Chains A and B, each alone.
Chain A
Amino acid sequence: MSRDRSVNPSPTPSIALVGAGLVTTLLALYSALVFAPTDRVQGDVQRLFYLHVPAALTMYLAILLVFIASLRYLQTRDAAWDELATVGAEVGLLWGTIVLLTGAMWAKPIWGAWWTWDARLTSFFILWLIFVAYVMLRSYGGEVEQVARFCAVLSILGFIGMPITHYAVEWFRTMHPGPVIMTEGGLGRGLPGSMLATFALGLAASVALFSNLFVLRLRLEQQTRRTQQIRRHLDLMETP
């Protein structure tokens, strides 16, 4: 049972959101590529850090969003919460993909390998897999109300599993020391001000861009559900 909607279900992202998105994005790009100092050890490839880590943090936010929306959906059974979860998972999956790809681009010149199974990467990859599972469940889960319930349960189980996955992977990896690497944690300590500022801009841009895409996708989701709802209604009325 979704709320009644008019022909124009929801507005496009507000001027403020689009503006914020554009401004932060341009500033962040400039900052990352030009303003920030070149890393002494890694060279310019390190600049991917300003894209990669903010995207990862944004995906963690998306995970939180999906979890809370799923809980609220199960409590209220209001489809609006399910819409938020659906959209958050999809855009979050996109962001996660960006994290993995930019990570690989950063890793290859620095570590010599596209991928390593270090603890943070592995944990993140598992979260990405759970997002993939969520999106697939959305596609194949059956009719709307059932899918909403199932996805909500999946996101809760996935969220609950996060701490134990984190520990398991970390213990697993510390027993197999990988190549000596410069982790983001190592970079984070004692970052010069300019790098920190660039990082903050990158984070703002990531969140702003995510929000814009989120609102657009939410609009699409509401439109789609409304058309399905009307179709069902018409089918009911037209069958004798």
Chain B
Amino acid sequence: MFRHTFILISKDLRLEWRSKEVLSSTVFFAMIALTVIYFGFQPGRFQVANVGPGILWTAFLFSALLGMNRMFQAESERGGLEGLMLCPVNRTTLYLAKCGTLFVLLTTTIAATFFIFIIFFNVRLVGQLPQLALVAILGSLGLSALGISFGAMAAKTSARDILLPLLLVPIAIPLLIAAVKCTGAILAGDGLTTARSWVQLLAAFDVIFLAAGYLTFPTILEE
């Protein structure tokens, strides 16, 4: 099963690397979003310290939604999902593979978003990168889990653009809250130990929705 998963992930990532259609959309959208936020709020140093994490995760969330839409659209244009279902691959393996691909794309996106963020808003970092990476990974994992479930659903409907955010965001709110809290603690210099319950919540969220997504994916893909 893991071999299949790995093969599918690398195939998808190779395709993405060639076309770069998902990553280009998400990264540029993140840049646009952060620009709008800057002009809209013009946060000074004090505000950035307060709402910086929120700005970061908001911009990232919207980029991620855009990226998921693009990913599923590209997939269906290539006749992907149907074709894959003909392969001798478990539907659940397919879920893990898709999650893996999306996870890689999302972590790349959030890294890029963060990079733009610290430049635009002049945020100083003091060796907090490993902790930030952990939060980024946990956050992307949860979003991937939900994103594949809801993205697969939305892709099969007539209103896919609006349905994906509508389905995903309310259920992802705990993840958003926790991610912002963790990032805030790290950037404030307090470190993740002060935000331990939030990290645990993130991890719990990931486990719950990866499991639930894994179990329900065959149902979503039924013909």
Chain A: residues with CB nearer than 8 A to chain B?
A: 74, 126, 129-130, 132-133, 136-137, 140-142, 146, 149-150, 152-154, 156-158, 160-161, 164-165, 167-169, 171-172
Contacts and interface: CB of A to CB of B under 8 A. Distances in A.
A153 B170 contact: no
B163 A136 contact: yes
Give the interface centre of A74, A140, A152 by most chain B CB atoms within 10 Å.
A140
Contact of A153 (B166, B205, B220): B220
Closest 4 CB pairs of A and B: A168-B174, A140-B159, A129-B170, A133-B166
Contacts, number: 87
Contacts of B158: 140, 142
A142 B197 contact: no
B205 A160 contact: no
A74 B152 CA distance: 18
A162 to B, nearest CB: 10
B167 A154 contact: yes
A158 B168 CA distance: 10
Nearest to A128: B170
Interface of B: 146, 149-150, 153, 156-159, 162-163, 166-167, 169-171, 173-174, 177-178, 181, 197-198, 201, 204-205, 208-209, 212-213, 216, 219-220, 222
Given A132-B166, A140-B163, A142-B158, A157 B216 contact: yes
Nearest to A142: B157
Contacts of A130: 170-171
Interface of A is mostly: helix
Contacts of A158: 170-171
B174 A74 contact: no
Contacts of A160: 208-209, 212
Given A136-B166, A157-B212, A160-B212, 7 more contacts: A126-B170, A149-B222, A153-B220, A154-B167, A161-B174, A164-B204, A171-B197
A164 to B, nearest CB: 5
Nearest to A153: B216
Contacts of B150: 154
20 contacts: A126-B173, A132-B166, A133-B170, A136-B162, A140-B157, A140-B159, A149-B219, A153-B219, A153-B220, A154-B150, A156-B212, A157-B149, A157-B216, A158-B170, A160-B212, A165-B174, A168-B177, A168-B178, A169-B173, A171-B201
A140 B209 CA distance: 24
B163 A168 contact: no
Nearest to A134: B167
B161 to A, nearest CB: 11
A130 B216 CA distance: 18
Nearest to B223: A146
